[in-house]
Amino acid sequence: MIFIEDLWPLLQQVVGKSGLFSSENSSYFQNFRETMTNSSCGGDELEMCRDEPAALVLKFVAIASILLAGMAGIAIPLVGKHRRFLRTDGNLFVAAKAFAAGVILATGFVHMLQDATEALNHPCLPSFPWSKFPFTGFFAMMAALFTLLLDFVGTQYYERKQGLDSASEEETRVGSSEAGGKVFGVEESGGMHIVGMHAHAAHHRHNHPHGNDACHGIGTFKEQVQVQVQGHAHAHSHSHIEDGEETDVRHVVVSQVLELGIVSHSVIIGLSLGVSQSPCTIRPLIAALSFHQFFEGFALGGCISQAQFKASSATIMACFFALTTPLGVGIGTAISSGYNPYSPAALVTEGILDSLSAGILVYMALVDLIAADFLSKRMSCNFKLQIVSYCMLFLGAGLMSSLAIWA
């Protein structure tokens, strides 16, 4: 902004005779320049509880706290998938994931949409066009629809890719079966590979499609597999391999789209904390963002774990998530001395990005986290798990919403 002020007299001398700086145009450009550089707009809020040395110390505390919370949250499902207590197919994980989904849903509805509305309706912005149209809801809606499109395209891409791989594996499987007389999915000891288990599970669903009968055998599935595999696993394996592959594809797409949505708003909230010079604003944000980062990390880590990425890919995704918000805080701290959060450019950018992030988070929470688990057969067949999961969902949404009182 100082550069603009120094350059302004030179521009007037060079092009002043062209008519570009007539009295009407000159007043327009003068107002525009003052709007971009004037810190008096919102100045009262900027000066409230202002203490730059104390704010700098709190920012370093925030970086450490948010980094540790994010790392812990995303590491628990990734490391715990090899532990019986925290396996991704356990009831405890499903309940904890429901709590995390509630946190993400509240983040989108209560925090991001509200912040976007305040930014795009701020008095420092001109009334036209920002007060004439509900841009917040529009951008959130478009983000949700774009996420749906991305979800669909990604799923189609991975299904085609998986189909090509499966075709080559099918040829190998048929050849080995004819040569050795073995049935694919059946081990020599009489057990089954995981693909064969998917095959038998789907066959069992076809035989019991309605009512409570559809839930029979879930608890004794392993024993039924060992008893019935020799009779009909080979006949039904192909269709159920596809069921298992479709589930894996969905986990891959969900984990990547969810990380995209989380990362997009993590940068914004990190910058918002970093540019603040008010300890009164930063203190509650540290607690809120640490809580929020932990459970977002847990939900994302669970999706990554279910997608069964390679260890290197899972580590890269986890590090990318954990470092994004602290990096945003660091960038915000670096530019805080010359940054005016109440300039029109800053307000519009913050409002649009918050709206887009809200749309992505709401879509992911409702469609790929809540609906995927709560409408599953496993949930419908376990009444106790239903009660616990719904309680955890509302508890997570309620606690995250209540943090809006302070941050």
Domain extents in the chain:
49-143+250-405, 161-240
**Six-digit token pair at 146?**
């774009």
CB 98 within 8 A of CB 392: yes
User: At residue 90, does pLDDT exceed 90?
Assistant: no
Per-residue pLDDT band at 113 (split at 50, 70, 90):
very high
Runs of H (alpha helix) within 183-220: 194-207
* pLDDT band with cut points at 50, 70 and 90 for residue 241: very low
> ω into residue 344 within 30 of 0, thus cis?
no
pLDDT tens per residue across span 157-189: 888 887 776 666 666 655 555 445 444 444 444
| Across 75-79, 120-124, 245-249, least confident range | 245-249
In the chain, % helix, strand, coil (3-state, to 5) comes to 85, 0, 15
Q: How far apart are CA 22 and CA 33, in angstroms?
A: 16
Residue type, 109: F
Instruction: Look at residue 253 in the predicted model and tell me its pLDDT.
Output: 87
The answer, yes or no, to whether residue 42 has pLDDT greater than 90, is: no
Mean pLDDT throughout 193-207?
Answer: 42
| pLDDT for the residue numbered 324 | 93
The residue type found at 286 is: I
pLDDT band at 371 (very low <50, low <70, confident <90, very high): very high
Higher pLDDT, residue 158 or 63: 63
pLDDT at 145 over 80: yes
pLDDT of residue 110: 94
pTM beyond 0.95: the answer is: no
pLDDT for res 233: 44
Cα–Cα distance between 286 and 275 in angstroms, integer?
Answer: 14
Name the residue with tokens 């069921």: 243
* pLDDT (0 to 100) of residue 104: 93
Average pLDDT over residues 211-234: 47
pLDDT of 225 higher than 50: no
Say yes or no to pLDDT of 19 above 60. no
The stretch 18-24 carries a mean pLDDT of: 43
Question: Nearest Cα to 112, choosing from 406, 335, 401?
Answer: 401
Please return the burial class of 81, using the count of CB atoms within 10 Å of its CB with bins 0-12, 13-18 and 19+: buried
- The reported pLDDT for the residue numbered 227 is 39
Q: In this structure, is the dihedral angle defined by the CA atoms of residues 227, 231, 234 and 239, taken in order, positive or negative?
A: negative
Tell me the average pLDDT of the chain: 76
Is residue 337 over pLDDT 70? Answer: yes
Contacts of residue 221, defined as CB under 8 A and 6 or more positions apart, other chains included, come to: 197, 200, 201, 204
Average pLDDT over residues 119-145: 93
Q: What is the pLDDT of residue 167?
A: 64
**Is the pLDDT assigned to residue 66 strictly greater than 90?**
yes
